[in-house]
Amino acid sequence: MSYSRALIASASIGGVLLAAPATLAHAYDTAALHIGHPWIKTPPNAAPAAAGYLTVTNHGKAAERLTGGESATFKAVEPHTMSMTGAVMRMRLAKDGLAIPPGGTLTLAPGGDHLMLIAPGKALKAGDKVPVTLTFAHAGKVRVEFIVQDGAPAAPMSHESMPGMDMH
């Protein structure tokens, strides 16, 4: 690849990265936990609840549980499970929280387990940052910010996935 083409390709990649800060991952760490990209799918106006998603990786030697949380923006923050019985999807409060085994990752994602964010005190729009304090059985309280997005975060880009790019 010529120097000028490489420079143009690098500038293009940089422009894409700068133009999409809301979709870039943000993370929080405690002694044993890594909390990856908390986000909320933009709810319809006047929705009685929203769903929060994230990943929690337990780097500790003991099991952990995400038991809920609190936020000035919502009346309640509750862990919920999703399951399918035949063609019926069921959502239930996870009374004992959601388990995170040692060395394991809890993934809260659309169509699966999630945090139910009940009774938002204001309309949420894409780009909003919503402070939430997550509660864990052993790690205690961890303050994070959920980013409101129109859709799921994009998968990380790699050079290998970009056709025509030969950076060697």
168 belongs to a structural domain: no
**What is the predicted pLDDT for the residue at 152?**
74
**What is the predicted pLDDT for the residue at 151?**
80
Whether residue 156 has pLDDT greater than 80: no
**What is the predicted pLDDT for the residue at 85?**
87
Expressed as residue numbers, the domain containing 136 is: 25-151
Query: Which residue do the tokens 């990649």 mark?
Result: 13
* CA-based torsion, 160, 165, 167, 168: positive or negative: positive
Structure tokens at 61: 């030697």
162 belongs to a structural domain: no
- Sequence-distant (6+) residues with CB within 8 A of 115 are 51, 52, 53, 54, 66, 68, 69, 77, 78, 79, 80, 108, 132
Q: How far apart are CA 8 and CA 4, in angstroms?
A: 6
145 belongs to a structural domain: yes
Please count the other Cβ atoms lying within 10 Å of the Cβ belonging to residue 7: 11
Q: What is the mean predicted confidence (pLDDT) over 61-81?
A: 98
113 belongs to a structural domain: yes
Q: What is the mean predicted confidence (pLDDT) over 81-101?
A: 93
With CA atoms as reference, report the closest residue to 28 among 62, 61, 66, 77: 66
* CATH code at position 60: 2.60.40.1890
Q: Spell 65-75 as b/e; 16+ CB within 10 A means b.
A: bbbbbebebbe
In the chain, the number of structural domains is 1
92 belongs to a structural domain: yes
Q: What is the mean predicted confidence (pLDDT) over 70-78?
A: 98
165 belongs to a structural domain: no
13 belongs to a structural domain: no
3 state SS of 8: helix
81 belongs to a structural domain: yes
